[in-house]
Amino acid sequence: MAEKTYFYHVGCDVCADAERQFANNLDKTKFEIERVHLGEKPARRAEAKAAGVKTVPAFVIAGKPYHINFGANLADLK
Amino acid sequence: MAEKTYFYHVGCDVCADAERQFANNLDKTKFEIERVHLGEKPARRAEAKAAGVKTVPAFVIAGKPYHINFGANLADLK
């Protein structure tokens, strides 16, 4: 069964690039990816933070955070 | 044609985890991934550095670096 996976981003260039190269190209039989824009959905920030996400873009796979390059600090989002 | 892609690592736990989740699961029709252990192959560090790799684990896709979490600084490798 595909692992429920989260891709957190804020629509930034670094985020879009990470989405294009990674989120769009991971094996769909293994990962079911939900893309979450934390700028548009501030209510979702708590779950990202709880999973250990410090910066975006980042994936959470099996409860673990994977930060890809640096777009923005979660703590800096308004 | 699959894009020639590099996955640079030093055999660390963070590296192995990134390899398992990302390098092993990216679409093989789009990416032809060469895994390069920069601890065992110091002669390859220059190419990684030239592509902008600062830390490992990191991918280089189409000449651009994608750092995933933090395992080690390239500059700290002996």
- Give per-residue pLDDT as tens, A7-26: 999 999 999 999 999 999 99
How far does CA B42 lie from the centroid of its chain? 13
Do the Cβ atoms of B21 and A67 come within 8 Å? no
Residue B78 has pLDDT above 90, yes or no: no
Residue B1 has pLDDT above 90, yes or no: no
Q: Are A59 and A66 in contact, with CB atoms under 8 Å apart?
A: yes
Q: How many domains does chain B have?
A: 1
Q: Which domain holds residue A20?
A: 3-76
Judge if ipTM > 0.85: yes
What are the tens digits of pLDDT across the range B18-47?
999 999 999 999 999 999 999 999 999 999
Do the Cβ atoms of B30 and A30 come within 8 Å? no
Report the CATH number at residue A36: 3.40.30.10
Mean pLDDT over the full length of chain B: 97
Do the Cβ atoms of A69 and B66 come within 8 Å? yes
Using CB atoms within 10 A of its CB, is residue A24 exposed (0-12), middle (13-18) or buried (19+)? Answer: middle
Q: Considering CB atoms only, which of A17, A64, A69 is closest to B67? A: A69
What are the tens digits of pLDDT across the range A21-74?
999 999 999 999 999 999 999 999 999 999 999 999 999 999 999 999 999 999
Nearest CA in chain B to A27: B25
